[in-house]
Structure 1
Amino acid sequence: MLVLGAGVVGVCTAWYLSRAGHEVCVLDRQPAAGMETSFANGGQISVSHAEPWANPHTPLRALAWMLREDSPLLFRLRCDAALLDWTLRFLRECSPWRTRANVRQIVSLALYSRRQLQALRAELPLAYDQLERGILHLYTDRRDFAAALGAAAMMREHGCERRPLSVDECVAIEPALASARPLLVGADYTAADESGDAHRFTRQLASHCAAAGVVFRYGVSVASLRTAGGRVQGVLAGGELHQADAYVAALGSYTPLLLRPLGLRLPVYPAKGYSATVPLAAASVAPTVSLIDDAHRIVFSRLGQRLRIAGTAEFNGYDTALNPVRCEALMVRARQLFPDLQPAGEIEFWAGLRPATPSNVPLVGRSPIANLYLNTGHGTLGWTMACGSGAALADIISGRSPEPPFHFL
């Protein structure tokens, strides 16, 4: 097996394929695992964050947000046929019935993935600043909170226990929010959700993969796939032709670019997300429970003596340059919620491209090409779904029926 991509999704896929008895080789252009989208993401295992960006409330909000450089969701006006096609599909997914169907799919795979992660952690000595303190979803607008009660009820129907809270209950769970009490109107809480450093997890799991016999070839850029007779015959990468019995495309946002010459047009587009990693002074008042700020689409995760602040989505092609306005917006909101946050050193800003489908439902399973499989399109939930999509795809490749009730390709 050849796995293309050594992000958290690719490495998890390699692990479960190896456990299933396959010989596995992983190709990646970076010098180590987890160096792109997995490097500094929001750090949440957030089944509770399963409501997709495409929902009935988004179109009008997106129109208003387009005028703000610091908006949570920003579409750059550009001559881009792929973005236009993706946007039209996105608008179609905003209907109430499509939103309900997509939530069901996302929750199903995310719940399975969380269980797989917990089983993996019981099996392997993994330490990645993980916290099992749940996730608090904060609301500062009464209309948004009222709408969220419906979304939470829908998720509970599918097995995600997202429990509504009063402001007092919210502050009791996370005392660091005491100064922000006047801003809050309510919250909901998913006690079973988790947080942790996806980059550290990916690097450690890659080490366990290597110890189990998985071969990693870093610094090798995948250029193209060679096909004949309806099958992949090899991968041209690093100036060499790499061959295997089967291939998994797990290149995140770059997967559509690789497969387009083969006639496969995947509805995946890069959604640039930003993060700030704040080293914390001992006197800092910072959260230890992972948080989602609904109004600003920002998440907060405690990673040891660091605070990861991440979020927003900017649709601007494959540009990864840092926008100072959007970086500063993360810190402005952090100071509003946590005025006693005290950095102990330089704040590290980062931007990465999340592979987003219009529905937020990932593409996992068989492609139309016989020996080519897909594991991409996880959007903001790549870390949440990585173990589950990797384990399920290993089952599919091994001829077994995957466990979760999900619409695999």
Structure 2
Amino acid sequence: MSKISRIKGFFDLFPPESTAYVFMEETARDIFSRYGYQEVRIPVVEQTELFARSIGQETDVVQKEMYTFPDRKGRSITLRPEATAGVVRAYTDSPLAGTGNVSRLFTFGPMFRYERPQKGRTRQFHQINVEVLGEDSPWSDAEVIIMLWTYLRALGLSKLDIELNSLGCSQCRPAFHQALKQYLQGVDHDGLCSDCQRRMSTNPLRVLDCKVPGCRDLVMDSPRINQNLCENCEIHFERVVSMLDKAGLNYHLNPNLVRGLDYYQRTTFEVVSHDIGAQSSVAGGGRYDGLVRALGGPDVPGIGFACGMERLAMLLGQVNQKPQDFYLAVLHEQAMDKALLLAQRLREKGFSGEMGFQVKSVKAQLRQANKLGVKTCLLLGIDELNKGEIQVKDMATGVQRGVSQDDVEQALGLNIKAKNNNYLRNG
């Protein structure tokens, strides 16, 4: 029978790669909770209309990249290509939408887009998402960006740049759209890719988002949205920028930063790295006032961001799992029952470790303990069993001593000295 292999663009994650994802998630829980955020879980599958209405019919995501199929009742459903729409849908379905309070939410999970797999881009990818619903203050925008930067620094990342822009609002954007359309009518259409030739009339803002070099060159001298902001948007953006200056964050104003989804308005931002190739964006987001109302909820503002975990993992390098506290080596079959109960007792006291279920030589057992990187090896043979003792070997110093089985927790604790609850990162 032939082997069944994984699907192209989908990947299995084993340690140490999977350890990096655990590290990113646990760090996010720690940092975000300091700002009052709560974790939510949302479905992987949603109605297709949710993404068509939120992301935008003319985006590449909806046009080309979604995994969409009918269910058994003929309803069109889609594997989520991003999380914001799902969080907003969950918010409108919940009692949160009627409280009038600000909701600070975050979530993790896989997303799905059918695109060409390449370094840092897969068909199943993972994101960390943050959403703030019910707050339109520019200081809220600044705090979200500051929190994102704090999180990335907590991961140990520093060689990153923040790009910042304002996309205006429903009042000032139409005039900019018209100016951009007029500009695009005057460029060499043959120099634009087929997608941008279509976008010129349907959604000209998407032309600015195109990554094709020829298209980017042609829009280099196009009108700038930041030169067409209404007074309210201009004041809002100035306050965001001022707050980031006071917080000491370095950023670059990028007037062509429009993001890839239609729901963004006013403040938009990206965090980019120059160390991972062409797919340089590792995080990004912005304000999406009006999205909740467009999806059937109350008219509340929102802002959020998403971090691409695959790209962050490329920057993190290898993340080492916290070493276990002990390895329990069984040297005689008659000691197996006692060893299993002793290992369980230690775990219930807060220690971590494993035991070998095959009776092997002391040398082989110590080799396994070294391979696992444990701090202490416990050896239990027939002599120790009869005496009610256990051998405790410090793997760093090689010192070995016999202690009473009743005192093994104390001996193990003294040998470990201090339990390190953080993951150690190399590279």
The TM-score, its normalising length taken from structure 2, stands at 0.24
Question: If you compute each CA radius of gyration, which structure gives the higher value, 1 or 2?
Answer: 2
